[in-house]
Structure formats: C-alpha cells, structure tokens
Structure 1
Amino acid sequence: MVRTSSEVPTGWRRSGPGRPRPATALAERWTTVDGIDVFYRESRNPPDAPVMMHVHGFGLSGRYLLPTAERLADHFHTLVPDLPGFGRSGKVANALDVPDLAHAAARFLDDRGIEKATLVGNSMGCPVICEFAYHYPDRIDRAVLVSPAGGIFNQPLRRAMGQISRDAPREPARLMRVVTPDYVRFGVPSTMRMFRSLTQYPSLERLLAMKIPTLAVLGDRDPLMPGAARVQEVAGQTDNHVLIVRIEGAAHAINFSHPGELAHLIRLFMEDQPIVDDPDSPGNARLYEIHRGVHHPPAKEA
C-alpha cells in the first residue's frame, strides 16, 4: 500500500501563502510493513536504475541523510526509509534490536518489490547493514558504512555519551534543527534499550564475515571512531573486500555535513574508480585512502 504524505504535491511544503517549495527532491510516501505504517522517500528516476537504500542512525529518521541521498538520486533508484519505531514511521509493540531492524529493512524492500540493493548507512545504520548482509547475502550488492558505530570503542554508555557530546560542536549548527525532533520523538526509554542492543551486537565479527565490496568512510574529527592505527589493524584482518577512506574535517554525521564529498566518493566506489578529490565539492575537504582490499582494482594516477 502506497499513499502520499502531504496535502500539497508530494515532495513539496508551503513557504508562505500559496507558495510551495521543495521539501526534498525525493517523493515522500507511506506504506505498511507488518502492520506498521512506514514513511519513506523515493527518487522519481526510472525504476530500472540500480537500487540504493540509505539507512539512518541511532534515534533518528532518514531526514538528515537527504543531502547525500539527493545527490545520488540521478544515478540510482534511491530509497530513504524511517525504519519502524523511528522518525515518522509507526511504533512497534516491542523495541527492535539490530537484527530486528535488518529484517525490517528486508521486508521494506520486499514491500517495494526490490530483490537486491546497495545499502548506505550512517552510525547505527552500519551494524544494521552488516546484519542485513549476514542474513540476506544474496540481496545486497555493495555496502557503504559511514561512521560505523556500536563497537567496543563506544562502550559503556557513559563513554558513548561523552563521545556524542564532543561530536555535537563539531557538526554544522543546522544539524540540531534536523535531529532534535527525532531524538525527542524516539524518547529516553527507547534510547536505553537500543543502546543495550548495540553494545551486545557482534559488530567486528559481522563486518569480517561480509564478502561483498564494502566502503567504510570515516571523518578525521569523529570522536566516536578509533584512531587510524586501530582502523588499519581491524581492516588488516580481512583483505578481500574493504576500502577505507577518510574525509578531512568531517566528524560523525558525514551524510549531512559533507554530502558533496561523500556522494562523489560513493560514485567512485560504485564504478570501481580510483579515489580522487572532487574539485567541484564545497569545503575542499580532502579524501584519502587508508586501506584497500584486493577485490578492488588498484588505484591509478589521476
């Protein structure tokens, strides 16, 4: 079941008397999955384009992912859902954990008639993608893990809260206007339950089990991520699929703060091209590899 979510044309909102303006370049829609109303955004490009689904982080909706998702919507059939229990989607009777969210993502794709997709996640969305790949390896083409969270580096809760508090002033001020309503709606009890699920999730084990081409994107100012030496140590445990790239000046919410750089990087990854800076991206943030698995072609001189 699909229905639009606005009284004005889909994807538009009012900006003064009688003057609609785009809320997003993506259409805003609803469907029902397992009896739960699910809100999502979808590109209007031909349905035969490669599918790319963006998976949001802890306590959030997909809204903060839109700056990057919109930049990729011209090449991919783009989907940005609010997973059940998050954002504008309906609540569930029992709080979902990481495996539940991975299954919910698969059932959302089932509902849309999509067999296979590339998944792009931020923060908590990355463990969800790893779990999706574990249970549905034939349904994921590639994985893009942006600022993956939930590992031992974010434990215990007080440490994670300290990391989040250090990250906040490093993000664009406008991000708070986007994420605050999501956090308020998600609530403290759900936050505590979801954090426990993340601390119990075998993030490293699932990551190392993935056999598909995987891009991990890190910000060099992200306090929720370990240093480069630890990242390289982990990446060195698998040599067959992982490409790791850092973005200078980025913190945790890269999908929002550096959408031009990230979209450019994802396009290069999807085309198996060498990692080079995008001269047209604002901010002039430098991209550089810190690890490349053998399944990726070697980098060439630009």
Structure 2
Amino acid sequence: MSSTSRAPEAEVPTYLLVHGIGASHRYYRRMQQSLAVTGHTHSLDLPGFGGTRRPERPIPVEEYGTLLGRLLDQLEVPRAVLVGHSMGAQFVTELARQRPDIASHLVLIGPVTDPRRATAVKQAMGLTRDSVKEPPAGKLIVFRDYLKCGPRWFSSELAQMLDYRTDLSLREVRSPTLVIRGANDPVSGHVWCESLSAAVPNGQLVEVEGHRHLVHHTAAAQAAAHIEGHVRRHPSITHPAA
C-alpha cells in the first residue's frame, strides 16, 4: 500500500484510490501526489493484483467491497473519498453501497461495465483500441502489472466484472458522486457515464478532452483538481453505520 499524509487539520479529506482489473497502485502515483497536497491518500494493491498473492478462488466484486471496508476500519479511517478506476469503480461503488457510513464522496473514473458491452470480446476490443493510442509511459505501467496479474487471474476476475451491475448498485448509493472519463475513452462511453452520473443525487459527469481510459494517469493534475472541487462543492452526508 502507498500512503501519503499532510499535517493534521480539521476537515482534511482522506482519499482511497482503488485500481482496476489487472492493474495496481502504480498508475495512480501522479494523481496521488496531486491529491496529497490537500488531503491524506491511500492507494493499495488488491489480492491477486500488483504481484500480491493470488486467492484460490475468484473474488466477487461484493467481497472486494467488504475487504476495502475492513481495510479502512483497520486504518481507523471513519470517512473517505472513494476513488475507483475501471473495475475499481465497481469496487468503490459496492463499498459505498455496503458502508454508506464510510463513503463521504464517490469518484468513478472510466467506470465499467456498460451492460450493452458486457462481453469479453467487446471489452477486449475496447481495451485494444485504447491501448494503441495511450502514451508509452502509461502502457508500460499497465503492461507490467498485467504480467504480474497473469492471464488466469485476469480471466477469473473479468467474469466477475462482466457480471456486476454498476448501474443497479449505484441506485442504492447516496454519496455525492463524480464520474470522470477521458473524452476519447473507447472503454467507458459517454452515454454510459452520463447515465451513471444521473443515477445518484448530486451526480456529475466530467469529460477530459484529449484523453482516454488512463485519464487519471495522463491528466493526473486535472483529474485531481476535479476531484478536489467535487469534495469542496458537496458537503459530506453522514449516514448511520450499516
């Protein structure tokens, strides 16, 4: 896990950064550095990813959500801004659904999976189209992490990703929600992201021109600024513990 902190102050947000399928905390480094200027940050590698030990069975999205809640409890973080990219957006959505007491705000970056594209073939096509035009530095980080994950675990979790209905789970979330996508992202489309932002109170969609699925890496400072602005604009709603 990668963590950064600034001097203790009242109302300083804590950001939890959750990676997507096949990835790790590494592609969050740029954005984490930007967010660390105004808050505390935690970025981690989930079981089976980033070189961590692979579980003996596939882990459903719901179970990853529970694990993230336990992690924040262990870190003694009572409230956090939950930030997830791609499949990580599913993980933090599930955490916000299960534990509304923890989720001060929700941020979904390049979220998946649009039910109209919920097949392995369509997802592979989108990722291939995206990868061709991502900058070399981003592709290298992702490629190395995919090798560490391995095709077997990737395939196991891909099935979980395709089965999970982010849109339906989001209907149960009451945290102010920001959806961010690169305007040229072939994986997470405009109509899909717009529907997600409309599904929650205080939902907002931001599209970053000239960027793709790795917008949190290629436009890290800009993405961080949008997240910080979202937190400032929308006061955290306190929910009782589930």
Same-fold call, TM cutoff 0.5: yes
How big is the shift at 1:171? 1.1
Identity of aligned residues (%): 25
Secondary structure of the residue aligned to 2:186 is: coil
> In 2, are the aligned partners of 1:56 and 1:82 still within 8 Å (CA)?
yes
- Structure 2 stretches lacking a partner, 5+ long: 238-242
Query: What are the residue-to-residue correspondences of 1:239-258 with 2, within 5 Å?
Result: 240-258=201-219
1:116 to 64, 67, 79: 79
Are 2:174 and 1:217 aligned?
Answer: no
> In 2, are the aligned partners of 1:170 and 1:221 still within 8 Å (CA)?
no
Greater C-alpha radius of gyration: 1
2:169 to 206, 231, 253: 206
Are 2:19 and 1:51 aligned?
Answer: no
How big is the shift at 1:91? 2.7
> In 1, are the aligned partners of 2:25 and 2:44 still within 8 Å (CA)?
yes
Report the RMSD for the aligned CA atoms in angstroms.
Answer: 1.9
1:260 to 211, 221, 239: 221
- Structure 1 stretches lacking a partner, 5+ long: 1-39, 274-294, 296-302
Paired letter, 2:7: P
Partner Cα distance (2:195, 2:148) in 1: 38
Q: Residue deviations 1:31-88, cap 9 Å, x none? A: xxxxxxxxx0010323553211100011111100111111010211100011122114
> In 2, are the aligned partners of 1:214 and 1:242 still within 8 Å (CA)?
yes
Partner Cα distance (1:101, 1:239) in 2: 22
> In 2, are the aligned partners of 1:154 and 1:160 still within 8 Å (CA)?
yes
TM-score (norm 1): 0.73
Partner Cα distance (2:58, 2:72) in 1: 21
Q: Tell me which residue corresponds to 1:104.
A: 67
Are 2:102 and 1:139 aligned?
Answer: yes
Secondary structure of the residue aligned to 1:209 is: coil
How big is the shift at 1:197? 0.5
How big is the shift at 1:201? 0.7
Structure with more of its chain in strand, by fraction = 1
Q: Tell me which residue corresponds to 1:189.
A: 152
Q: Tell me which residue corresponds to 2:240.
A: none
> In 1, are the aligned partners of 2:51 and 2:149 still within 8 Å (CA)?
no
Paired letter, 1:211: R
TM-score (norm 2): 0.90
Structure with more of its chain in helix, by fraction = 2
How big is the shift at 1:226? 2.5
> In 2, are the aligned partners of 1:153 and 1:226 still within 8 Å (CA)?
no
1:128 to 73, 91, 103: 91
> In 1, are the aligned partners of 2:173 and 2:200 still within 8 Å (CA)?
no
How big is the shift at 1:95? 2.5
Distance of aligned partners of 1:82 and 1:235 in 2 relative to their CA distance in 1, 3 Å threshold: closer
Partner Cα distance (2:74, 2:196) in 1: 36
Paired letter, 2:103: I
> In 2, are the aligned partners of 1:133 and 1:140 still within 8 Å (CA)?
yes
- Worse-matched range after superposition: 97-106 or 159-168: 97-106
